[in-house]
Amino acid sequence: MSSLRAILPFLLALICTVNLAAQSGNTGPLKIVSPNGEIAVLLFEAGAESGPPVRGRSMATDDLRYAVEFHGKRLMDSARLGLELVGQPALGPGMHLKATQPEAVDQTYSIPVGKTSSVRDHYNGVRADFEDAAGRRMTVEVRAFDDGIGFRYLVPEQPALKDVRIANELTEFTYARDAETYPLVMNGNSGYEDSYQLREVSGLHADWIIGLPFLANEPGVGWVAITEADIDNYAGMHLTKDKGFNSLIVKAGLAPHADAAGVPETGVAVVTATPFNSPWRVLMIGDTAGKLIESNIVLNLNPPSKVADKSWIKAGKSAWDWWSGEAAPSVTFKTGMNTATMMHYIDFASDSGFKYMLIDAGWAKAKRTGPDDYAALANITEVVPEIDMPELIRYANEKHVKIWLWSHWRSVDQYMDQAFPLFEKWGIAGVKIDFMDRDDQWMVGFYHRVVENAAAHHLMIDFHGAYKPDGLRRTYPNLITREGVLGKEYLKMSARTTPVHNATLPFTRMLAGPMDYTPGAFNNSNRENFVVRNFMPMGLGTRAQELALYVVLESPLQMVSDYPEIYAGQEAFNFIKQVPTTWDEIHAVGGTPMEWVSLARRSGKDWYIGSLTNWDQRDIKIPLTFLGEGKYVAEIYADAPDAAVEATHTTFSKVPVDQTTVLDVHMVSGGGNAIWIHPE
């Protein structure tokens, strides 16, 4: 690891200027500029001149405010900052700047699994201390990176503020132009499992609860996505539209405070004591939507790893029984949650070179009313008679496969202290924890308790039924993936995970971090022939698109979801066996949300390119300028000429390439393209 922390000369000069300005009553903004000079954050104390009136809202003169510039143009107009407290005035209004503490950091750290093996953390920052007439103090910390900005509130210990109850934040985000946005409208505090829309900011409905990340394109200025990082002892954030007529403002909202059972407390979001800090409010910024996919800003805004030995944290693909465990034909045993079926999937994982087999719901003792009764409290230290866990573990070890286990979160909450040491003794690789579907302060604390306890027992974690990632995996890298997405599983119940949805996810949900979407369906179908069915479910889109998902969608634990026999003798399965699940480098080739995307990822000396389109057939060009020197071979899995009708049909070809090559890629309706490029 290399590290450089330096306070730059111009920032040393800045601190003197700020102090003099505060003493003289000068109300000019405090300006924090990114290392490349392209992004700037402006902080305005109460009463400062903050630009023209915001469309749809007359500005209060006593607000603490900020704005953001990109390439010298206003990207986000003046917007409020602060915390709304229960029982006393808000923190923010009437506050004046007292002092600043500048900082400039340029360091590189490594992560065991992710979209890049090393991460550069490079920013200019400042802690700006504010105080109101009552003597109450609050610090606004700002960091400006080359790929976005982050800011958060720090409230120090002080006589007037000891025990604090936060009702909400005053935080707002004001677009400088009527941007095109891609909202995820949630039904209450959901698990982020829904579809995305395309709306102008002005056309958002004030009663919508909008999930994060929230992507927008301001024509002529740039792309910006709002999300958050480092949620700890706090509630998760969502957005709502300001009610002003044609307003361009969206406001932060916090999940209501609740107990373990999820019963909310009216009018309160966070209960804490000073000193405390809020999560980072993050704006990912770029010239193209693809640049946001390359960003590691969410990771960078989290504390360093607390796990010293990371050698046991391993990315890999996994066989999985839930999607198709009842479907395996041509076997001599009854399929289902039993030892024989799990051994069959372990054999498949071993023969395919996969590291893992994930045993889903039903293995632990519970008073279930049926196979789909997932909420029944299970004792995860006890195994149902149909599963011989010692024999499965012995057999898996013999086959060089590690086992993951599924659990409902309530079972983990009750039995974690007994189960995690037991799982470690068994040699279990990790736990998939499901159905939280909340991001209130209590549930955020549950996530932290789980990953800390799991790390102590060398267990990796996959959160399903989860809120969006916030970069916690930097601090606890055993948290290698999570769901929080409308994934492939919905095709057993609906036709909702379409190629349009697939082309949107990299620019929206995936900006926050890895997602366990569970690709691998080989019963591929076009729209006309697709049938919703639970037994032997179908995939929507071509097989070449299904292959591309293994490159386009980031997840260090990647499911291979279909039953083993469906892959037998299929040439396209060779790509799934070959493709890695953790990477050294990422390059966004291009794309537009809801239309198409093409991403290139490097592992060692090899590159993998995944491209997919919506329901429009599409031709794209892929310049291979990112390749190193020398000659390479590209192994290409493409849509067959008739793939729009026969969605399982692909073609395979090998072509010599180098960094001067431009590949022509044709994709049929709902189609895709997957490429493995390796040295000649």
Task: Please identify, among 300, 327, 348, the residue that sits at the C-terminal boundary of a domain.
Answer: 300
Residue 2 has pLDDT above 70, yes or no: no
- Return the closest-CA partner of residue 360 out of 347, 348, 371: 371
Average pLDDT over residues 206-215: 97
Task: Judge if 551 and 480 occupy the same domain.
Answer: no
Task: Judge if 380 and 519 occupy the same domain.
Answer: no
Task: Please identify, among 484, 509, 533, the residue that sits at the C-terminal boundary of a domain.
Answer: 484
Q: Which CATH number does the domain housing residue 428 bear?
A: 3.20.20.70
The tens digit of pLDDT for each residue in 379-389 reads 999 999 999 99
237 contacts 193 by C-beta, under 8 angstroms: no
The pLDDT score that the predictor gives to residue 155 is: 98
The tens digit of pLDDT for each residue in 240-296 reads 999 987 899 999 999 999 999 999 999 999 999 999 999 999 999 999 999 999 999
Average pLDDT over residues 226-241: 98
Let me know if residue 322 belongs to a domain: no
Task: Judge if 243 and 261 occupy the same domain.
Answer: yes
The tens digit of pLDDT for each residue in 553-585 reads 999 999 999 999 999 999 999 999 999 999 999
How far apart CA 588 and CA 273 sit, in angstroms, is 43
Average pLDDT over residues 2-28: 41
Angle between helices 409-426 and 441-456 (to 10 degrees): 10
577 token code pair: 């066996």
The tens digit of pLDDT for each residue in 115-129 reads 999 999 999 999 999
* Contact partners, residue 501, CB within 8 Å, separation at least 6: 195, 196, 486
Task: Judge if 445 and 510 occupy the same domain.
Answer: no
Task: Judge if 547 and 466 occupy the same domain.
Answer: no
Q: What is the residue range of 216's domain? A: 2-300
Let me know if residue 404 belongs to a domain: yes
144 contacts 40 by C-beta, under 8 angstroms: yes
Task: Judge if 493 and 612 occupy the same domain.
Answer: yes
Residue 12 has pLDDT above 80, yes or no: no
Average pLDDT over residues 307-336: 92
Given its phi and psi angles, is residue 362 left (phi above 0), alpha (psi -120 to 50 degrees) or beta?
left
Let me know if residue 162 belongs to a domain: yes
- Per-residue confidence band for 188, with pLDDT thresholds at 50, 70 and 90: low
- Per-residue confidence band for 55, with pLDDT thresholds at 50, 70 and 90: low
- Return the closest-CA partner of residue 646 out of 520, 498, 521, 525: 525
Residue 468 has pLDDT above 60, yes or no: yes
137 token code pair: 């103090």
Q: List beta partners, residue 557.
A: 316
Length, in residues, of the chain: 680
Strands 222-229 and 148-155: unpaired
Peptide bond into 275 cis (omega under 30): yes
The tens digit of pLDDT for each residue in 474-532 reads 999 999 999 999 999 999 999 999 999 999 999 999 999 999 999 999 999 999 999 99
92 contacts 64 by C-beta, under 8 angstroms: yes
Task: Judge if 94 and 233 occupy the same domain.
Answer: yes
Let me know if residue 380 belongs to a domain: yes
* Contact partners, residue 38, CB within 8 Å, separation at least 6: 70, 71, 146
Q: What is the DSSP string of 556-622?
A: SEEEE-S-HHHHTT-TTHHHHHH--SS-SEEEEEEEETTTEEEEEEEETTEEEEEEEE-SS-EEEEE
The pLDDT score that the predictor gives to residue 28 is: 75
- Return the closest-CA partner of residue 636 out of 586, 596, 678: 678
Let me know if residue 589 belongs to a domain: yes
What proportions of the chain, in percent to the nearest 5, are helix, strand and coil? 20, 35, 45
* Contact partners, residue 667, CB within 8 Å, separation at least 6: 544, 545, 596, 611, 612, 613, 617, 618, 619, 620, 639, 673
Q: List beta partners, residue 217.
A: 180, 223
Residue 347 has pLDDT above 60, yes or no: yes
Task: Judge if 457 and 535 occupy the same domain.
Answer: no
How far apart CA 275 and CA 158 sit, in angstroms, is 8
147 contacts 295 by C-beta, under 8 angstroms: yes
Task: Judge if 113 and 238 occupy the same domain.
Answer: yes
The pLDDT score that the predictor gives to residue 326 is: 84
The tens digit of pLDDT for each residue in 628-649 reads 999 999 999 999 999 999 999 9
Let me know if residue 370 belongs to a domain: yes
Residue 17 has pLDDT above 50, yes or no: no
- Return the closest-CA partner of residue 439 out of 463, 464, 467: 467
Q: What is the DSSP string of 141-166?
A: EEEEETTEEEEEEEE--BTTBSEEEE
Q: List beta partners, residue 270.
A: 166
Average pLDDT over residues 588-594: 98
The pLDDT score that the predictor gives to residue 53 is: 56
Let me know if residue 354 belongs to a domain: no
- Per-residue confidence band for 59, with pLDDT thresholds at 50, 70 and 90: low
Specify the number of domains making up the chain. Answer: 3
Task: Please identify, among 453, 484, 515, the residue that sits at the C-terminal boundary of a domain.
Answer: 484
Task: Judge if 65 and 185 occupy the same domain.
Answer: yes
Task: Judge if 500 and 415 occupy the same domain.
Answer: no
Let me know if residue 313 belongs to a domain: no
Task: Judge if 282 and 375 occupy the same domain.
Answer: no
512 contacts 505 by C-beta, under 8 angstroms: no
* Contact partners, residue 458, CB within 8 Å, separation at least 6: 312, 424, 478
Average pLDDT for the chain: 93
